[in-house]
Amino acid sequence: MYKIPLFDLNFDEKEEQAALETIQSKWISTGPKTAAFEAKFAGMLSVKHAIALSNCTVSLHLALKLVGVEAGDEVICPSLTFVATVNAIRYVNAVPVFGDVVSYENPTISAEDIRKKITPKTKAIIVMHYGGFACDMDTIMAIAKEHDLKVIEDACHGPLAEYKRRKLGTIGDVGCFSFFSNKNISTGEGGMLITNNDDYAARTKLLRSHGMTSMSYERAKGHSTAYDVVELGYNYRMDDIHSSIGIVQLDKIQADLEKRAEVRTAYLNALNDVSGIIIPFADYTDFNSNYIFPIVLTDGDAERRDAIRAQLAEAGIQTSMHYPAVHHFSIYQEFASELPVTDFLVDHLITLPMYSKLTVEQVNYISETLKKLI
Ligand SMILES: *Cc1c(COP(=O)(O)O)cnc(C)c1O
């Protein structure tokens, strides 16, 4: 329907072949492919443990359990994020305390606002690296240390992206990734939890599989014949069909991100001197995943933004908006606080198409169309 979609999968016959081989191997649930995917992911991110899970939402849930967040504890998080970041806090009956973002140029959670929102009940901070652009981790980790808080990184947008030469997801206590179809790495559904903490890793393996001390694959291999259930766990496993696709995606990710960086440069060249728009992170220099390409309109209101999006759609260009503010959703209004920068952004953000196969011609077409509308 759209001439230019918001996102396009980086799939070819290799993903098909990998899934087919796994199906033909007859071991399709969690097993050797999942172990290989985890080892490869951990290696690429230089982290001790990577544990594959069914999606990132459950990864965030387990992360909160690992760091000891309990009912009534407060967790500081952004409102400008996908709702799953915050839903996970509710799964453990903790209280989300929304922090505002830094600025229109930097829509990641503000360290200064985090500091203001700490109370004796605060237990943890969840940061979200918006678009794969890093939060101010030096300051946030220093605040966490000072107040004895745990830090969970929602790094869904940033596989392989860096902050001062460190990979996103490896800086806090636990990092969480998603392999949903429209993410940088796509397996359909899928997620990963990474950590350098041995105890967290062992507990994640228990919790992802009902709290059982062994998994079916180990029993099928004769490595164990019985199991105990030592903690109330879940079924949060990733299976070998998804994992085998993930392995192929990992082979492609570096080249994919380099292509995306070229797409970003093309956008920056085309939109640089257009008045009426701000390009967030315009001066960012760390290696980035370019999960999305957001722009911020400086004028008008949500109605004008929606009208521009509708006209882009008429020109065959699919856009999106990352994200509607979580504190405006019905179930989160009771947790709402004053978030002026977030409130401005949710009325003025537009996400333009971004994927590695996007051509310079397409970027120029999108940019020219947008310029005329502004
Ligand atoms: C996609 C996404 C999630 C949820 O990931 P799932 O794998 O779909 O559960 C959470 N947080 C952010 C920032 C995301 O982009």
Cα-to-centroid distance, 36 and ligand 1 (Å): 23
Residue in the block written with tokens 């759209």 = 2
> Does the C-beta of 53 come closer than 6 Å to ligand 1?
no
- C-alpha R_g of the chain: 21
- Domain 254-373 coded CATH 3.90.1150.10: yes
Average pLDDT for runs of 10 along the chain of length 374: 95 98 97 98 98 98 98 98 98 98 98 98 98 98 98 98 98 98 97 98 97 85 87 98 98 98 98 94 96 98 98 98 98 96 98 98 98 95
pLDDT of residue 304: 98
Residue with CA nearest ligand 1 atom 8: 180
Considering the domain 13-250 in this protein, what is its CATH number? 3.40.640.10
- pLDDT reported for residue 99: 98
Cα(214)–Cα(290) distance, integer angstroms:
39
85 lines ligand 1 (CB under 6 A): yes
Atom of ligand 1 nearest to the CA of 189: 7
CB of 81 shorter than 6 A to ligand 1: yes
* Catalytic site residue from 48, 183, 252, 372: 183
The ligand 1 atom nearest the CA atom of 59:
9
Verify whether ligand 1 is closer than 6 Å to residue 351 (CB atom). Answer: no
Distance between CA atoms of residues 290 and 270, nearest Å: 17
- Sketch the domain layout of the chain as residue ranges: 13-250, 254-373
For ligand 1, whether the C-beta of 154 sits within 6 Å is: yes
Is it true that 13-250 and 254-373 share their CATH fold?
no
